[in-house]
Amino acid sequence: MPRLGGIEAGGTKFVCAAGRGPEDAEFTEFPTGAPEETIAQAVEFFRGREPVEAVGIASFGPIDRRPESPTYGYITSTPKSRWRNTDLAGTVCRALGVRVAFDTDVNAAAVAEWRWGSARGLHSFVYVTIGTGIGGGAVIDGRLLHGRMHSEMGHIRIPRDRVRDPFPGNCPYHGDCLEGVASAPAIEARWGKPAHLIPDGHAAWALEADYLALGIVSWACTLSLERVVLGGGVMQRGELFPKIRERVAQLLNGYLEPPDIVAAELGRRAGVLGAIALAADRLRTFGLAPHGSELGQLGSDEPASAASPEFK
CB of 143 to a copy of itself, least distance (A): 7
**DSSP state for residue 57 in the 8-state scheme:** E
Position among 59, 118, 129, 151 found at the interface with a copy of itself (CB under 8 A)? 151
Given the complex with a copy of itself, which of 269 and 282 has the nearer CB atom? 282
| Segment 120 to 149, residues that bind a copy of itself, using CB under 8 A | 123-124, 136, 138, 140-143, 145-149
Q: Does residue number 20 form part of the binding site for a copy of itself (CB under 8 A)?
A: no
Of 20, 8, 4, nearest in space to 99 by CA: 4
Q: Say if CB 283 and CB 54 are below 8 A apart.
A: yes
d(C-alpha 98, C-alpha 89), whole Å = 11
Q: What is the smallest separation between the CB atom of 175 and a copy of itself, expressed in angstroms?
A: 9
Site for a copy of itself in 236-295 (CB under 8 A): 251-257, 259
Query: Quick check: 119 and 110 in contact, CB under 8 A?
Result: yes
Q: List the x/- string, 77-116, binding to a copy of itself by CB under 8 A.
A: ----------------------------------------
> Among the candidate windows 67-75, 158-166, 201-209, 273-281, which touches a copy of itself by CB under 8 A?
158-166
Contacts of 222 (CB under 8 A, 6+ apart): none
222 touching a copy of itself, by CB under 8 A: yes
Looking at the Cβ atoms of 134 and 184, the one nearer to a copy of itself is 134
Cβ(184)–Cβ(191) below 8 Å: no
Query: What is the Rg, in whole angstroms, of the alpha carbon atoms belonging to the chain?
Result: 19
Note whether 209 binds a copy of itself by CB under 8 A. Answer: no
**Hey, how many other C-beta atoms are within 10 angstroms of the C-beta on 134?**
29
Phi/psi region, residue 135 (left: phi>0; alpha: psi -120 to 50; beta: rest), is beta
Q: Which residues in this chain contact a copy of itself in the complex, by CB under 8 A?
A: 123-124, 136, 138, 140-143, 145-160, 173-174, 176, 214, 217-219, 221-226, 251-257, 259, 299, 301
